[in-house]
Structure 1
């Protein structure tokens, strides 16, 4: 494949189309990372570093404050939605338009057009956000090069439909397991059906009333839901094992330990096996840098319904918010798209904040 070249003289919507047309499914971001690195190295006001398929560029102007703008380069698998397509109504269609190449395009345009921002800026472009946390490029950067991510405030340009979203939910997955005894289904009385034993687990989930938790002026909605059921061996065998995978989305004022204790309490009497967990992030909207950001954009903050890498910045002691032009409801869909006007608005608002 011939190495693609990005033209950052075009506006953020056009740059979005350029990015979308360079496929970058998780763990296959190299060509896009190469193009991003080359475009940034051509800008003399930036210092550029790379680790794997993550690229970090910084201004070094000695400003009193440093902000971090971050976005991931990868997408979910392509669903017959490449190349990009711009329709007559100003809608750009294609894989990654919303999540989150429109946000990445805004970052690139700011990097190219603001050689002397009013704050020092670190631009972070990282790989493998859409898959298991062990591959996450931002997590790798935090472990290997935490100084690259240092700042007073961070903005993650995840799709937020042009809203400022504070913090994020924590997320946890557990397997709630039942055991039985195998037998021939013609002589079912000789066995114990582990799938039948899972019925009370589902009943507890159906009766569960999730919390709505106010945190720093924002209300986070929790959720406890079955997302997968495994069990059975054959259509003529009484199963001796069943597992219900449950996803718990919890408010950011609850720690992972507290979240797991709550889940174990809900499923008291069952074997509960933790399989995956990530902490939430407090909104941090009282931090002066966050106040200045919200005031500059003139937007009313909302809670983030979901988990994003603001949690990683929070763990590093950097208050962070989500703000991006894409619509999160369109993320990962075959019909993924973004409005050109929304991309241009995000570019304009962030440029004004940094000017």
Structure 2
């Protein structure tokens, strides 16, 4: 094995991935544990085997693996890299206690772990290494699944924000429509009020003018009577008496002025077809109600539904997904959708309603 990298890598066999045990050179100058070379050679026939690193064909000498040149440098490095017992600091860790699940030395095996089942540490670590590789693969798959879920959830979050913006715009547009309609109705009502008031005022003015003329005539006659009574002159008295008997002051003429019936006076009033509560209810219905709907959907068929009161099939905008069995009654038009695997939030908002 070519050495390099950190110290742990430089004293690690490429076959067993453990610290070298009796490291031997192959003719290609790669180094492996003597036992690892033996295991590789035993898996091949014909006296040759490929180098585990460079795949160069290699033949063992007559003395077998034991006759291969030892790598004394790596042997020394391996000895320096051996893990020592924390209790018996001069003893190398050689065994694995199955019961206590820890690496121990020969002294630990003969004392504290005497009655415990033990295994060769090298063999146990190889098995643990295989288990770790399996766990690593499992964790990698779990991490990949979680990353996918995180990305999906983020996409859902963005979709909710986009939908919120769209619904908010729809609400504001509806409010603007209602305000514009209310302003229009207000202006029309005020114009109508002005027209009716002008007509009534003109009629009342004409009546008032006639009444004021009648009043002025009676006051004039009254003044003539008072002057005649005050002066006492024969000419004035006779003239006024004559006026009071046959002229403007006669009983018949005065009765005619005072007996005229008062005509009905019109006043402007505001009439309603519906009460304010009904109008507010219609306005609320037009604005729509924002609700949240959470769905947990696996890889099965669901249906996207239009929901709206009966008779208003053409006046609704779809903002939601729903289930046929759980949704409240009303006219529904379903659209098939498949493979929805997550929860979503939706808003119900009517497309348009009329104010009566």
TM-score by length of 1: 0.16
Higher helix share: 2
**Structure with larger Rg:** 2
TM-score between both structures, scaled by the size of structure 2: 0.16
Higher relative contact order (CA 8 A, sep 6+): 1
Structure with the largest fraction of strand: 1
